Amino acid sequence: MTHLDPRDDVDVPVPALAHPGDCACALHARRRLGGALFGAGLLAALGTTPAAAAVDPDIAAECKRSGFTKVVSAEQIEQAAGQQYVQMLQQAGNQRALVSKDHNQLKRLRYIGERIVPFTLGCNERARDWRWEVNLINSSQLNAFCMPGGKIAFYAGILTKLQLDDDEVAMIMGHEIAHALLEHARERMGKTAATRGVIEIGAALLGLGNTARTAAGMGGQLLTLRFSRDDESEADALGLLLAAKAGYNPRAGVSLWKKMMTASKGAPPEWLSTHPSGTSRIAEIEARLPRAEPFYQRAAKPDQRFGPPPVKPAS
């Protein structure tokens, strides 16, 4: 099968740990239900192994994790993420919404992932032991994510509706992998715990009761949104380098977000959004291109090109 026909009736919720702050990032898993487990096997196929893969200093320079990550356990979050991913695959499987491993678009996603993963050790040593996995869900949603521990999913809608080329897919893949490497879900949990703690202590000390606690909670939510926009910018910066080093053109980040702007009309204003506005994001990406493009020019280029899914003929 070459065509994708994303379904509107598929109800496969995004796992809670898929995105920091419960966002629905449109850029932004024992037995695997139709999935490919490609950790050590992936790197071995590329002529290296997790133990031998080199740490890339350019990637390391872009990888700065928050002290808030120390509030919660990485092992526990990765274990919970794996459980949530398996549950998601079960839900998709029960609805016959997992795209077959033989489908060209899933092969495409896995090939791009295989090119990016070897560079992840430059950011996060824990990635050495992650059991990377990529699946494609036949839902019309415009979404993709990478969970803690390297669990990746794309929803078919983002490929078909935006007609993404391989470079644009790599920008999404790099961005979502960057979220996992930078441990943004773990950071968000730490920030949320700290923010709630300050709100509760302040309300108790001042004797202001539930009204003050509610108002303070609204302020805490805005603080959390600010953190989330920073997370997105960090993931964009690291994701560009990951994709460029894997041989994908970072300029595709600009064309990707122009497509996203067209598809996201009616989005909330930037200051109340968990993501930078499209225009701000494009400007930031363009400012980062002089750093990313030399890595792309020097990188080994993909020996396979797939392209967007063919448009299904009208019946």
Could you give the residue numbers annotated as active site? 176
d(CA 69, CA 128): 19
Q: Three-state SS for 136?
A: strand
Quick check: 291 and 284 in contact, CB under 8 A?
A: no
User: And the tokens for 223?
Assistant: 């603080």
Backbone angles phi, psi at 151, to 5 degrees: -95, 115
Our CA dihedral for 278, 283, 289, 291, rounded to 10 degrees, sits at -120
User: And the tokens for 148?
Assistant: 């803690």
Beta-strand (E) ranges in the chain? Answer: 36-37, 133-137, 144-147, 151-155
Query: Cα 180 to the chain's mean position, in Å?
Result: 7
d(CA 133, CA 105): 15
Q: What are 98's strand-pairing partners?
A: 137
Please give the full DSSP string across 53-97, using - where no structure is assigned. Answer: PPPPHHHHHT----GGGGGS-HHHHHHHHHHHHHHHHHHHHHTT-
Q: What is the DSSP letter of 300?
A: P
Q: What angle do CA 5, 8, 11 make, to 5 degrees?
A: 115
- Please give the biggest Cα pair distance in the chain: 67
Quick check: 114 and 38 in contact, CB under 8 A?
A: yes
